[in-house]
């Protein structure tokens, strides 16, 4: 009975189980299917759809986003709660359109700019088939080739000058409008710096005069020579013109306007007056017979001794004039015998010149004046005179030129410091009333005011200042000449 009862329960359970299996409708394809083929299904939908993307997802899930553009709908959960586009532009998939065209898109004109194209265009494509200019010229048959032409092969050339058969080219730069051009050291044509033919391109040298486009010799510098037979009778310009008598081989110079003077005739020329003193050592030192011309000794207070110094070439004859060892006293020499001045009014004349060569033995305690003085002067600083001056009593440190009238001096510096060297002073006048001065051939100075008008004579004075110490001065020569005298 027990056995049968157990069997009965089994039957009941089996029947119950069958009933349960018969009512089940959900199938787990993952565990209950194999080799599934949906090709004949009316439709399939294996992915969830909707909008928007779900906020949460498990890795491996897919979702079809219906609001996305066509081709960009399918998303996959690539990490927890993270969706990634599985198709479309972001995924590197198929492009939905090209240049705004869809379907089987082919390139048309205007799709690409030149910068988007690479490669080399062949000649048949309108290119050069090259990537360099040299190769391009070769490919196109435009490479440089050497060939020559004669000048007559050229046409269209107008204004050609000359008969040459060669055209030359020159390097160079821009030229200023209106200026000439010139060749530089390298053969280039460059701006000449001035107009053609103008004086701006030239600088007049010694003896050359430039006036506009005319270049000539300067008559004041370059002598003018004329030849002829016999003495000259033509007009002439003083100081410029020379004449050669080809018959007698005589030379003439123009000494004044339209007045000729034969060279070598000066000694016999009555228009010239000359005095020359060389102080030969054989002459006297006693007044009034000093030197060859008979100089008078003029004492300022008391005079010192005179002596001749053995000459040293070229100063062959030298007269030394000493001062006494007494303050404010000194010695002078003058051409004024009988207390008469040699020239009545030399400053009112032109064409005369005085030269004196001297040397001081000291520069201290010294008051020196050399030039033209009134007759019988015995003052260290005369009231009238024309002379070179170095006077420490007046504060001089160098030699000055001075004209003095009425006791008032007018001076100009010589530019030469006082020393114990030989110096030659030149005092002259080429214009009446204006006195010229020059020391050692240096800068010429002139004085035209305060010039004395009285009688003057050549003289020289050396006087001590405030110290009772003797001094001395040496004289090499005194020369005076006046020209153009009407007599």
Query: What are the sequence ranges of the domains in the chain?
Result: 47-87, 224-267, 273-482
Q: Model confidence over 173-211: pLDDT tens digits?
A: 778 887 888 888 888 888 887 777 654 567 888 888 888
What pLDDT does 469 receive? 96
What pLDDT does 432 receive? 93
How far apart, in whole angstroms, are the C-alpha atoms of residue 232 and residue 245? 7
What pLDDT does 15 receive? 43
Q: Which CATH number fits domain 273-482: 3.40.50.300, 2.60.120.200, 1.10.730.10, 3.40.50.720?
A: 2.60.120.200
The residue among 264 and 450 whose pLDDT is bigger is: 450
Residue 240 pLDDT grade (very low, low, confident, very high; cuts 50, 70, 90): confident
How far apart, in whole angstroms, are the C-alpha atoms of residue 165 and residue 128? 39
What pLDDT does 461 receive? 98
Are 293 and 458 a contacting pair, CB within 8 Å? no
Residue 1 pLDDT grade (very low, low, confident, very high; cuts 50, 70, 90): very low
pLDDT of residue 429 exceeding 80, the answer is yes
Strand 241-245 vs strand 224-228: parallel, antiparallel, or unpaired?
parallel
Q: Model confidence over 413-426: pLDDT tens digits?
A: 999 999 999 999 99
pTM more than 0.85: no
pLDDT of residue 255 exceeding 80, the answer is yes
**Exposure on the CB side of residue 474, measured as CA atoms within 13 A:** 20
Cα first-last separation, the chain: 206
């Amino acid at each position: 009975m027990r056995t049968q009862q157990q069997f009965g329960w089994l039957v009941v359970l089996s029947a119950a189980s069958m009933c349960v299996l018969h009512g089940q409708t959900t199938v787990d394809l993952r565990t209950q299917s194999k080799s599934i083929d949906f090709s004949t299904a009316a439709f399939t939908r294996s992915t969830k759809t909707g909008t928007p993307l779900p906020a949460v997802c498990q890795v491996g899930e897919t979702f079809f986003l219906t609001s996305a553009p066509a081709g960009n709908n399918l998303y996959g959960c690539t990490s927890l709660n993270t969706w990634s586009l599985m198709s479309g532009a972001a995924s590197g998939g198929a492009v939905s359109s090209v240049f705004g065209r869809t379907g089987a898109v082919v390139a048309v004109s205007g799709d690409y700019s030149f910068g988007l194209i690479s490669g080399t265009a062949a000649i048949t494509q309108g290119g050069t088939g090259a990537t360099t200019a040299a190769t391009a010229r070769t490919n196109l048959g435009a490479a440089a080739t050497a060939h020559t032409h004669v000048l007559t092969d050229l046409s269209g050339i107008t204004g050609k000058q000359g008969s040459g058969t060669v055209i030359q080219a020159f390097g160079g730069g821009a030229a200023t409008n209106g200026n000439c051009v010139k060749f530089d050291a390298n053969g280039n044509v460059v701006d000449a710096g001035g107009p053609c033919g103008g004086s701006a391109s030239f600088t007049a040298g010694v003896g050359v005069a430039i006036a506009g486009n005319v270049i000539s010799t300067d008559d004041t510098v370059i002598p003018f020579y004329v030849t002829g037979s016999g003495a000259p009778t033509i007009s002439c310009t003083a100081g410029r013109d020379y004449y050669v008598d080809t018959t007698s081989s005589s030379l003439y110079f123009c000494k004044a306007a339209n007045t000729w003077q034969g060279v070598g005739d000066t000694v016999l020329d009555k228009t010239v007056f000359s005095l020359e003193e060389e102080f030969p050592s054989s002459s006297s030192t006693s007044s009034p017979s000093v030197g060859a011309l008979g100089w008078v000794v003029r004492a300022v207070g008391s005079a010192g001794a005179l002596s001749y110094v053995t000459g040293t070439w070229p100063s062959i004859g030298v007269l030394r004039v000493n001062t006494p060892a007494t303050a404010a006293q000194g010695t002078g020499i003058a051409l004024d015998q009988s207390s008469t001045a040699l020239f009545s009014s030399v400053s009112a004349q032109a064409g005369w010149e005085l030269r004196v060569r001297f040397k001081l033995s000291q520069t201290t305690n010294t008051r020196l004046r050399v030039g033209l003085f009134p007759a019988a002067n015995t003052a260290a600083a005369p009231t009238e005179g024309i002379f070179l001056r170095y006077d420490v009593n007046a504060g001089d440190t160098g030699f000055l030129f001075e004209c003095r009238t009425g006791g008032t001096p007018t001076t100009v510096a010589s530019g030469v410091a006082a020393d114990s060297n030989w110096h030659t002073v030149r005092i002259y006048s080429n214009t009446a009333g204006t006195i010229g001065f020059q020391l050692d051939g240096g800068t010429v100075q002139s004085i035209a005011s305060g010039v004395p008008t009285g009688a003057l004579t050549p003289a020289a004075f050396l006087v001590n200042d405030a110290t009772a110490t003797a001094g001395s001065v040496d004289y090499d020569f005194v020369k005076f000449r006046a020209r153009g005298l009407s007599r």
